[in-house]
A and B are shown apart, each in its own frame.
Chain A
Amino acid sequence: MSDAKTRMLRRAAREITPGMVVNLGIGLPTQVVNHLAPDLPVCLHTENGLTGIGPTLPPERADRNLIDAGGAYVSEVPGSAFFDSATSFAMVRAGRLDLTMLGAFEVSETGDLANWKIPGKFSPGVGGGIELAQKARRVVVLSTHTDRAGNPKLLTACTLPLTARNRVARVFTDMAVVDVEPGGFVLTELAEGVSVAEVSEATGAPLRLPDTALPRF
């Protein structure tokens, strides 16, 4: 794993504070769990019916009936609960998730999120993504700053089908932490070795700077 990716995951992990109920989306966000302090009092939720997710297990130690929504074999912690899919999404829609951390294809400067469909290329279905994005109390995105071709993912407006409107509050990338404020994107932190000019160049929307010095991560 590259240093930049590790730093991004470690920085995103600091978003999770004691007492939270958190859903980490499939892909990059799930890896944040490896950067949480083992004694952090936090309840991780997975939409296939588990609260209190423990560490991921190798196949030889896995329970065949115990997976997360991405299909990884996980474990219980003391106090875990199992429930059906209706109960699981009741938690989501009723606002019981303090935080969800999701991947993204595009994020707009008004907090719109597109992360489930690229017409003609990728349309496997939305799964639980819309409910997480629409109903978690706080929605943050964890993603590379640009796509594989180098195109910006942070845009003035999304071009792809939306997952939810006006819901993203913050974006963690390999280059920066960017907040979504009423006036648009605000650069709040910079990754080590990255300049403001480089972040601006890789962002497809205006990027405001705070008056104070930018912390590094």
Chain B
Amino acid sequence: MRLPEKICAMEDAIAQIRDGDTVMVGGFGVPGTPMTLIRALVAHGARDLTLVKNDANEPGMGIDHLLQSGQVARLITTHLGLNSHAIGLMNSGRIAVEFNAQGILAERIRAGGSGLGAVLSDIGLGTELAEGKQVVQVAGQDYLVEPALRAGIALIHAERADPFGNLTYAATARNFNPLMAMAADQVIVEVEEIVPLGALPPEAVHTPGVFVDQVVPLGTLSGEYAVVRR
């Protein structure tokens, strides 16, 4: 038995993104941010997007290119502190921003990727983050209902993949990638190195290929992936 192969050209993978789509984007800072898929989405031009990403990278980096090109209507995130440009867009009302506690965003995505409807948590109870959220009681304790999150598309960065889409991530480039890779209808992965089927030890696979739809080889990495000199 041989596993199916999912290697795909970047343009073909990105072409399925439509105006108004919700797009999850992996990464926490530079590590794990799919810089090349983001550039391809800028070139593709789909508009009115809802992005789900931990942070907005920094000005001139990562998803800031999608903010600058005006393709983003809404951003579901946890922290914009390193991107003054994103904060400016939020403050002037040009993008809508929904802030989540970081681990709650992770759990909402994990729930969406696991076929669940919501998670219950006491994080933020009694603070303004709880405003407008449904409260339920379980075993005498109050919990906020945090609805599961899914997306039409996930853009993922992995260090290695085999052609079936089994993935491994490097160091802290893992972050939201394996969660988002479970939570979208179409999961597009850019990969630094494609290895043959069987080359990844099964015990070492971080994301099983069943979750992955398209594998895009990166070739030589652009400077956007390099160490940032601040």
Contacts and interface: CB of A to CB of B under 8 A. Distances in A.
Interface stretch (A80-88, A98-106, A137-145, A179-187): A80-88
Give the bracket for the number of chain B residues in contact with chain A. Answer: 35 or more
A125 B80 contact: yes
A88 B29 contact: no
Interface string A57-72: 0010011111101010
B87 interface: yes
Contact of A85 (B30, B123, B124, B176): B176
Interface residues of A, number: 42
Given A49-B28, A63-B171, A65-B172, A84 B177 contact: yes
Contacts of B177: 84
Contacts of A66: 31, 171-172
Interface string B79-106: 1111000010000000001010111111
Interface stretch (B16-24, B36-44, B145-153, B222-230): B222-230
A47 B103 CA distance: 9
B186 interface: no
B203 interface: no
A63 B159 CA distance: 14
A131 B122 CA distance: 9
Interface stretch (B2-10, B65-73, B126-134, B212-220): B126-134
The 7 closest A-B pairs by CB, nearest first: A89-B103, A127-B79, A124-B81, A65-B171, A85-B106, A125-B79, A128-B102
21 contacts: A48-B28, A48-B172, A49-B172, A49-B175, A64-B30, A64-B31, A64-B225, A64-B227, A65-B173, A67-B31, A69-B28, A84-B176, A85-B28, A85-B54, A85-B103, A89-B106, A126-B102, A128-B102, A131-B101, A134-B123, A165-B127
